[in-house]
Structure 1
Amino acid sequence: LHRGAPENAARYLRRALLGHRTQDESRAGLLVELATAERGFDLEACQRHIAQALPLLATARDRAAAVLRIPPLLLGAARSSAAELLSEVRDEMVLCTPGEAQVREMSLRLEARVRHSGHENPGELASATERLRGLGEEPPIGSAAERELLAVLLFSATLAGGVSAAEAARTAGLVLEREPAVVGGAHTVLPLVVITLFTTESVRDVDSWMSCAHQSGAPNATDADGLLLFAARSFVLVSQGRPTLAREYVERAMTLADADWREASLMILATAALELRDTKLSERILALARRRGATGLALTASLQILQASVDAQRGLRAIALERLLACGRQLSNSGWRNSALFPWRPQAVGLYQRLGDEAAALHLADEELRWAKEWGAPATLGRALRLKGRLQGARGIPLLREAATVLRGSQFRLELARTLVLLGRQLGSGPEAEAALREAGTIAAAYGAPWLVEQAEHGLDTAQVPRTTTLTPSERKVIALVSRGLTNQEIADELGVSSRAVEKHLTNSYRKLGISGRNELAGVLPA
């Protein structure tokens, strides 16, 4: 086991069990050791062997130590049998000598496992949030068990939106500061702390911790640990605006296709792929998840959002929208309000707009903005402000200015660049528009985003032409038909002209109106 060869260790332990016929505590010890080896590659067998060992152990303390060998199933669907084992042993521990340090540590760890097994239940989330508040502003974090419980309570409160981003970041940071920076966290609750910090946009904290973990290494590190590091590193790089390097780390993770994939690693990779907007990469991750039989709401929701993104890029907008709305209903039913963790609404807003349902788009955008203000993370709030500002066209310029101000306090610099591009386009011309577009281009170039540089430069070309809404009669006819949802060819057929003539009228109209395409027409023309 110490050499990182758990499958070989398991073979020796099975041989030992074959020669041990007596149903006694020594057999229980072998079963527990076998389960310890198996937890890195066969979770079902691990749980089964612990269940076989429990009746052979004489004390509640021994049974608690055994059941805690089962690694926490972080984001998958909780197995009822495992939850029952944990609950039964936790209840037994109440009868043990109170105040004894070892008993207290085991009781806290059992509580953490039992509470996390109910993380898809709204009532359990509310209870966990109350328990977290009861620990006060300076929760106890001196022992590993106290940190384990705190990590679980904080993740539950983050899912439910029971704390602000600032509170969650501060508490998660306290846990991470006390955790040894070594590889080996894939089988603990540590990934919950990492995901919480990502959700609060505390990317630097995770990056610093991971760098130490990677340098220190561990002789018994598993493939699951390596995958977690690769996945987390990819998301850090995406957040820092370094897509090329981020893609490299995703690829490194994908080369370990036969490794022990944990739900947390898959979820983080899916989130990184969503930000990269790489269809082929997204499809590979989705295929891997199908092969692995992904379970649990956290992972399936992340994968649904990623699949919707792929569908939308293929032009299947109605299917993508329905998938996102179904995902939103599932999350709501479980009491999961955190849109920063599962950003289904921003995608749905864009799809509603493209499908012509402006009212539904605005309703969802208002919901997203209300949540973002409650959560308080700069990038989440900035995106929500940009989303609503884009829907309102010229009337949304104040919201875009506010979004830019908020995003200046965020580490997500490309989000600021995207907002400045949109602000420059909505302003159309003038010193403010040019300044916004030039700053966007500078940021995009510094962070290796050529597509954003191109958008900023295109906006500058437009901004330097005096803006006017004086359209010719032919341009007005074409714009009116576009507003009815007709394609260029259908407009050409109705007006009796060539499609090239239609394209020319549209290009001239967009230039005069200071916009980039037909999706922005509703925001700049009177009803």
Structure 2
Amino acid sequence: MSPPAPEHVHSTMPLAINILAGAGRTEGAAGWLREAHLLAQRRGGEVEQAVIRAEQALVALADGRLAHARQKVVQADALAGPDSGGLPTICAAVLAIVALHTEEPHLAEQILTRHRLHVENQHLAALLHLARGTLAAGRGETRTALVHFRTAGQRAERIGWHNPVAVPWASCAALMHHRLGEHEEAVASALLEVERSRAWGAPVRLGRALVALGRVSRGREGVTLLEEAVEVLEKGSNTHELCQALYALGTHRETDRRRRASALKRAHELAVGNGADSLARAIARKRDEYTPRTSSRTDLLTPSERKVAELAATGLSNSAISARLGTSSRMVEKHLTNSYRKLGIPGRPDLARALEKLGETPDS
């Protein structure tokens, strides 16, 4: 690698760093960029500083250091100012990608919306749909999120972008199909990303894709896939992705009790160490939920959530439930999303068993 210099931001070097981060080969990159940034600071070049901060954010993300990555995104965004059009397109994309992976979808949307090329540039448009899909999923608007994720895929396919590292739309779509009880569609989308990730060859990307496929797969097959994901990610240095795989394994309903406990314990330790505070809290809640209790849990769900969950567990679609209860499909989705979270399950296929654990039997 050439000596550190801020001028590298005007060359193809940012693209090279992007590729290295995607492949999980970032050895020495953090120190090199730190020196380059010190030189840029002395010269007062704000554009160079912003680009280097974006590169640092990407390298930190590849290493699993979420708090550090989030900090660099905020710094780069502040240097770019209210109009990020002065940044190279690839850097706007990098900032959005890191923001999405560090639990900052609002920031990702802001960065992409401000960028003047977001309409014409298919890559940035795809990332914008990923951000909006993530926000919709967080609000419980599952169908809306699915539309955004599939649109992101269409945008990426339009420019021949099959690499799932930058635009992992298929796994996102798979999880939404899973929420909606669309098992075949969920598995098909997740398999697509696994196949492309194997072709790409990056362990982190493959591990992440296997996690999605494991989450939407039924029975012991899901556990086997999640164990493979953990094994793949153990070989790398990205402890955040390893944490996610362990969390998924620990919350899969077919994971045995001893393995569940050890997976969630280690996942929590990694989340705390990575500065992923909200994830650490979520893991702690799941760990507590799986701890045997003597008290009743029948008050977990509100009456409306319980009724919707009972109907969904019998196999009724969201539209059928909406018609029967005289409520909107959006409200049905919201009640189901809340029920999944409270019951500690990933989606509709697990509802019947979870309700039985609450001492309730769904209507048949």
Query: If the TM-score is normalised by the length of the shorter chain, which range does it land in?
Result: 0.7 to 0.9
The 8 Å contact of residues 407 and 416 in structure 1, kept in 2 or not, is answered as yes
Please state if 1:451 is matched with 2:278. yes
Letter in 2 for 1:202: R
Return 5+ residue gaps in structure 2 as ranges: 299-305, 327-334, 355-363
Matched, 1:460 2:281: no
Per the alignment, residue 58 of structure 2 pairs with 235
Distance 1:243 1:465 in 2: 32
Using a 3 Å threshold, how does the CA distance of structure 1 residues 430 and 278 change in structure 2: closer, same or farther? same
Counterpart check, 1:437 vs 2:260: no
Whether the 8 Å CA contact 1:393–1:522 is kept in 2: the answer is no
**Equivalent residue, structure 2, for 1:420:** 246
1:390 is displaced (CA, Å) by 0.7
2:22 counterpart of 1:196: no
Structure 1 480/268 Cα, relative in aligned 2: closer, same or farther at 3 Å? same
| Alignment check: 8 A CA contact 2:126 2:151 kept | no
The correspondence of residues 83-94 of structure 1 with structure 2, limited to 5 A, is none
TM-score, normalised by the number of residues in structure 2: 0.77
Residue 350 of structure 2: which of 521, 524, 527 is its match? 521
| Residues 482, 218 of structure 1: alpha-carbon distance in 2 compared, 3 angstrom cutoff | closer
Matched with 1:307 is 132
The answer as to whether partners of 2:247 and 2:283 remain within 8 angstroms in 1 is: yes
- Equivalent residue runs for 1:114-193 within 5 Å: 177=1, 179-193=2-16
1:185-216 CA deviation, whole Å, 9 max, x = no partner?
22211111111112112234432321231234
CA shift for structure 1 position 273 = 1.1
User: Contact 1:429–1:464 (CA<8 Å) still a contact in 2?
Assistant: no
1:109-159 CA distances to partner (integer Å, 9 max, x unpaired)?
xxxxxxxxxxxxxxxxxxxxxxxxxxxxxxxxxxxxxxxxxxxxxxxxxxx
Work out whether 1:331 is the aligned partner of 2:160.
no
- The aligned counterpart of 1:76 is none
Q: What aligned pairs does 1:82-121 form with structure 2 within 5 A after superposition?
A: none
Q: Which has the larger radius of gyration?
A: 1
Q: What amino acid sits opposite 1:405 in the alignment?
A: E
Structure 2 residue 127 is the aligned partner of structure 1 residue 298: no
Match of 1:406 in 2: 232
Name the SS of the counterpart of 1:186 in structure 2: helix
CA distance in 2, matches of 1:207, 1:282: 23
- Kindly indicate whether the alpha-carbon contact (under 8 Å) linking 1:392 and 1:523 is maintained by their aligned counterparts in 2: no
How far off is 1:265 after superposition? Answer: 1.4
The answer to whether the aligner puts 1:273 opposite 2:96 as a matched pair is no
- Candidates 167, 189, 198, aligned match of 1:342: 167
Q: Give the direction of change, closer, same or farther, for the CA distance of 1:218–1:492 in structure 2 (3 Å limit).
A: closer
Q: Distance in 2 between matches of 1:309 and 1:478?
A: 24
Q: Which amino acid aligns with 1:432?
A: R
Tell me if 1:397 matches 2:227.
no
Q: What does residue 247 of structure 1 align with? A: 70
The alpha-carbon deviation at position 345 of structure 1 amounts to 1.2
Shift of 1:524: 6.0
Shift, 1:299, TM fit: 2.9
Post-superposition CA distance 1:5-32 (Å, at most 9, x none): xxxxxxxxxxxxxxxxxxxxxxxxxxxx
Q: C-alpha deviations, 1:366-396, integer Å up to 9, x for none?
A: 1111111222212111111111111124331
Higher relative CO (CA 8 A, sep ≥ 6), structure 1 or 2?
2
What is the count of residue pairs matched by the alignment? 328
Quote how far apart the aligned CAs of 1:519 are. Answer: 4.1
SS, match of residue 341 in structure 1: coil
Structure 1: state its 5+ residue gaps. 1-176, 495-501
- Give the direction of change, closer, same or farther, for the CA distance of 1:199–1:478 in structure 2 (3 Å limit): closer
C-alpha separation in 1, matches of 2:307 and 2:113? 47
Q: Distance in 2 between matches of 1:519 and 1:226?
A: 47
One-letter code aligned to 1:281: L
Alpha-carbon distance in 2 for matches of 1:185, 1:294:
28
CA distance in 2, matches of 1:188, 1:354: 44
One-letter code of the match for 1:379? Answer: V
Matched, 1:359 2:188: no
Q: Name the structure 1 match of 2:29.
A: 206
Query: Would the aligned equivalents of 2:210 and 2:225 in 1 still touch at CA under 8 Å?
Result: yes
Q: Give the corresponding residue for 1:161.
A: none
Secondary structure at 1:185's aligned position in 2?
A: helix
Cα deviations across residues 390-437 of structure 1 (Å, max 9, x unaligned)? 112433111111111111112221211122122122245532221111
CA 1:268–1:393: 2 relative to 1, 3 Å: same
Q: Percent identity?
A: 26
- Determine the C-alpha separation between the residues in 2 that align with 1:431 and 1:243: 29
Q: Which residue of 2 aligns with 1:386?
A: 211
Q: Helix, strand or coil for the counterpart of 2:131?
A: helix
What pairs up with 1:44-63 in 2 under 5 angstroms?
none
Q: CA RMSD in A?
A: 3.7
Output the amino acid matched with 2:183: E
State the secondary structure of the residue aligned to 2:4: coil
Judged with a 3 Å threshold, the aligned counterparts in structure 2 of structure 1 residues 425 and 321 are, in CA distance, closer, same or farther, namely closer
Following TM superposition, by how much is the alpha carbon of 1:221 offset from its aligned partner in structure 2, in angstroms? 6.5
Residue 293 of structure 1: how far off its partner (Å): 5.7
Q: In the TM superposition, what is the alpha-carbon distance from 1:268 to its structure 2 partner?
A: 0.6
CA contact (8 A) 1:201 1:379 kept: yes
Q: Which amino acid aligns with 2:311?
A: L
Rate the CA distance shift 1:198–1:294 in 2: closer, same or farther, 3 A.
farther
Q: CA deviation at 1:362?
A: 0.9
